[in-house]
Protein backbone atom coordinates (compact mmCIF):
# COMPACT_ATOMS: atom_id res chain seq x y z
CA UNK A 1 0.00 0.00 0.00
CA UNK A 2 1.59 3.28 -1.07
CA UNK A 3 1.13 6.72 0.50
CA UNK A 4 -1.58 7.75 -1.96
CA UNK A 5 -3.57 4.61 -1.12
CA UNK A 6 -3.19 5.38 2.57
CA UNK A 7 -4.37 8.95 2.02
CA UNK A 8 -7.41 7.79 0.05
CA UNK A 9 -8.30 5.14 2.63
CA UNK A 10 -7.99 7.54 5.55
CA UNK A 11 -10.09 10.12 3.71
CA UNK A 12 -12.82 7.56 3.04
CA UNK A 13 -12.83 6.46 6.69
CA UNK A 14 -13.06 10.08 7.86
CA UNK A 15 -15.97 10.73 5.48
CA UNK A 16 -17.78 7.61 6.66
CA UNK A 17 -17.34 8.54 10.33
CA UNK A 18 -18.71 12.01 9.63
CA UNK A 19 -21.74 10.50 7.90
CA UNK A 20 -22.28 8.14 10.83
CA UNK A 21 -22.19 11.07 13.25
CA UNK A 22 -25.36 12.40 11.62
CA UNK A 23 -27.29 9.35 12.80
CA UNK A 24 -25.80 9.07 16.28
CA UNK A 25 -28.46 8.71 18.96
CA UNK A 26 -26.67 10.81 21.56
CA UNK A 27 -24.59 13.98 21.65
CA UNK A 28 -21.76 11.96 23.20
CA UNK A 29 -21.81 9.47 20.32
CA UNK A 30 -22.05 12.24 17.76
CA UNK A 31 -19.14 14.11 19.34
CA UNK A 32 -17.03 10.96 19.48
CA UNK A 33 -17.60 10.25 15.79
CA UNK A 34 -16.92 13.84 14.76
CA UNK A 35 -13.73 13.91 16.82
CA UNK A 36 -12.54 10.62 15.31
CA UNK A 37 -13.37 11.88 11.80
CA UNK A 38 -11.46 15.10 12.40
CA UNK A 39 -8.43 13.25 13.76
CA UNK A 40 -8.34 10.83 10.84
CA UNK A 41 -8.89 13.66 8.35
CA UNK A 42 -5.91 15.46 9.88
CA UNK A 43 -3.81 12.35 9.52
CA UNK A 44 -4.90 12.01 5.89
CA UNK A 45 -3.92 15.64 5.28
CA UNK A 46 -0.47 15.02 6.74
CA UNK A 47 -0.01 12.07 4.38
CA UNK A 48 -1.29 14.16 1.46
CA UNK A 49 1.10 17.00 2.29
CA UNK A 50 3.95 14.51 2.40
CA UNK A 51 3.02 13.04 -1.00
CA UNK A 52 2.46 16.42 -2.66
CA UNK A 53 5.62 17.76 -1.04
CA UNK A 54 7.54 15.43 -3.32
CA UNK A 55 8.99 13.21 -0.66
CA UNK A 56 7.32 10.19 -2.28
CA UNK A 57 6.25 6.98 -0.63
CA UNK A 58 8.37 4.86 1.67
Domain of 37, in residue numbers: 3-52
> 3-state DSSP call for residue 1?
coil
- Encode the chain (58 residues) as per-residue pLDDT tens digits: 999 999 999 999 999 999 999 999 999 999 999 999 999 999 999 999 998 886 544 4
pTM of whole model > 0.95?
A: no
Residue 58 lies in a domain: no
With CA atoms as reference, report the closest residue to 39 among 58, 6, 17.
17
Residue 57 lies in a domain: no
Residue 15 lies in a domain: yes
Which residues neighbour 10 within 8 Å (Cβ) at sequence distance 6 or greater? Answer: 40, 41, 43, 44, 47
Residue 35 lies in a domain: yes
When divided into structural domains, the chain yields a total of: 1
Residue 41 lies in a domain: yes
Amino acid sequence: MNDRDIYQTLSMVADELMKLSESAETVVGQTALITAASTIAGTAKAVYDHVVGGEGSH
